[in-house]
Structure 1
Amino acid sequence: MSTTMQTVPDQSRSLRVPRINIRDFGTLIGLVLMMAIFAAIAPGFLSERNLVNILQQSSINAFVALGMTLVIISGGIDLSVGPTAALAAVLAASLMTVGVPVPLAILAGLVLGALCGAVNGMLISFGGLQPFIVTLGTLSTYRALALIVTGGNPILGIPHTLRAIANGRLLGIPTSVLLVGLVAILAGIMLRRTPFGEYLLAVGGNEEASHIAGVPIALTKIGAYALSGTMAALAAMILIGRLGAAEPILGSSWELDAIAAAAIGGASLMGGKGSIIGTLLGAIILGAMRNGLTLLNVQAFYQLLATGLIILFAMLLDRFTRGRS
Structure 2
Amino acid sequence: MVAIDAKGEKSHAKNLFGWLSGATGPLIGLIALCLFLSVMSDSFLSLRNGLNILDQITVLGIMAVGMTFVILIGGIDLSVGSVLALSMMIMGWTANVMGLPMAIAIPIALIASAISGFAVGVMVTHFRVPAFIATLAMMSVARGVANMITDGQQIVGFPDWFMMLAIDRHFGVLTATVFVMLAVVLVSWIFLKFRAEGRMLYAVGGNPEVARLAGINVLRVTIAVYVACAVLAGLAGIVLAARLDSVQPSSGLGYELDTIAAVVIGGTSLSGGAGGIGGTLIGVLIIGVLRNGLNLLNVSPFLQQVIIGVVIVVAVGAETLRRRPR
Q: Deviations over 1:117-168 (max 9, x none)?
A: 1111110001101111111111111111111222111011222221122322
The CA deviation at 1:235 is 0.8
Q: Deviations over 1:178-216 (max 9, x none)?
A: 211111111011112222212111010001111211211
Work out whether residues 113 and 233 of structure 2, in 8 Å CA contact, stay in contact via their aligned partners in 1. Answer: yes
Aligned length in residues: 311
Instruction: Using structure 1 for the length normalisation, give the TM-score.
Output: 0.92
Which sections of structure 1, spanning at least 5 residues, go unmatched?
1-15
The CA deviation at 1:244 is 1.0
The CA deviation at 1:277 is 1.0
The CA deviation at 1:318 is 2.2
Aligned to 1:38: 37
Write the mapping of 1:248-259 to structure 2, written as runs, cut at 5 A: 248-259=249-260
The CA deviation at 1:22 is 6.8
Aligned to 1:11: none
Single out whichever of 217-226 and 158-167 deviates more from structure 2.
Answer: 158-167
The CA deviation at 1:43 is 2.8
Aligned to 1:271: 272
Work out whether residues 266 and 282 of structure 2, in 8 Å CA contact, stay in contact via their aligned partners in 1. Answer: yes
Aligned to 2:6: none
Aligned to 2:318: 317
Aligned to 1:60: 59
Aligned to 1:211: 212
Aligned to 1:295: 296
Q: Give the direction of change, closer, same or farther, for the CA distance of 1:75–1:95 in structure 2 (3 Å limit).
A: same
SS at match of 1:116: helix
Single out whichever of 308-317 and 214-223 deviates more from structure 2.
Answer: 308-317
Work out whether residues 120 and 134 of structure 1, in 8 Å CA contact, stay in contact via their aligned partners in 2. Answer: yes
- Confirm or deny that 1:94 pairs with 2:97: no
SS at match of 1:23: coil
In the alignment, the residues of structure 2 paired with residue 18 and residue 183 of structure 1 have an alpha-carbon distance, to the nearest angstrom, of 20
- Confirm or deny that 1:164 pairs with 2:164: yes
Which sections of structure 2, spanning at least 5 residues, go unmatched?
1-14
In the alignment, the residues of structure 2 paired with residue 144 and residue 303 of structure 1 have an alpha-carbon distance, to the nearest angstrom, of 29
- Confirm or deny that 1:20 pairs with 2:22: no
The CA deviation at 1:299 is 1.1
Work out whether residues 102 and 161 of structure 1, in 8 Å CA contact, stay in contact via their aligned partners in 2. Answer: no
- Confirm or deny that 1:231 pairs with 2:227: no
In the alignment, the residues of structure 2 paired with residue 115 and residue 255 of structure 1 have an alpha-carbon distance, to the nearest angstrom, of 18
Work out whether residues 20 and 278 of structure 2, in 8 Å CA contact, stay in contact via their aligned partners in 1. Answer: no
Single out whichever of 90-99 and 48-57 deviates more from structure 2.
Answer: 90-99
Q: Deviations over 1:34-62 (max 9, x none)?
A: 01111111231111101100111011100
In the alignment, the residues of structure 1 paired with residue 138 and residue 210 of structure 2 have an alpha-carbon distance, to the nearest angstrom, of 29
Work out whether residues 21 and 278 of structure 2, in 8 Å CA contact, stay in contact via their aligned partners in 1. Answer: no
Single out whichever of 121-130 and 156-165 deviates more from structure 2.
Answer: 156-165
In the alignment, the residues of structure 2 paired with residue 21 and residue 162 of structure 1 have an alpha-carbon distance, to the nearest angstrom, of 34
The CA deviation at 1:313 is 1.7
Write the mapping of 1:66-145 to structure 2, written as runs, cut at 5 A: 66-97=65-96, 98-145=98-145
Report sequence identity in percent.
36
Work out whether residues 26 and 283 of structure 2, in 8 Å CA contact, stay in contact via their aligned partners in 1. Answer: yes
- Confirm or deny that 1:148 pairs with 2:148: yes
In the alignment, the residues of structure 2 paired with residue 17 and residue 27 of structure 1 have an alpha-carbon distance, to the nearest angstrom, of 16
Instruction: Using structure 2 for the length normalisation, give the TM-score.
Output: 0.91
- Confirm or deny that 1:187 pairs with 2:182: no
The CA deviation at 1:21 is 4.3
Work out whether residues 93 and 149 of structure 2, in 8 Å CA contact, stay in contact via their aligned partners in 1. Answer: no
In the alignment, the residues of structure 1 paired with residue 35 and residue 101 of structure 2 have an alpha-carbon distance, to the nearest angstrom, of 46
User: Which amino acid is 2:118 matched to?
Assistant: A
Q: Give the direction of change, closer, same or farther, for the CA distance of 1:18–1:104 in structure 2 (3 Å limit).
A: farther
User: Which amino acid is 1:49 matched to?
Assistant: R
SS at match of 1:324: coil
Q: Give me the CA root mean square deviation.
A: 1.8
In the alignment, the residues of structure 2 paired with residue 231 and residue 309 of structure 1 have an alpha-carbon distance, to the nearest angstrom, of 28
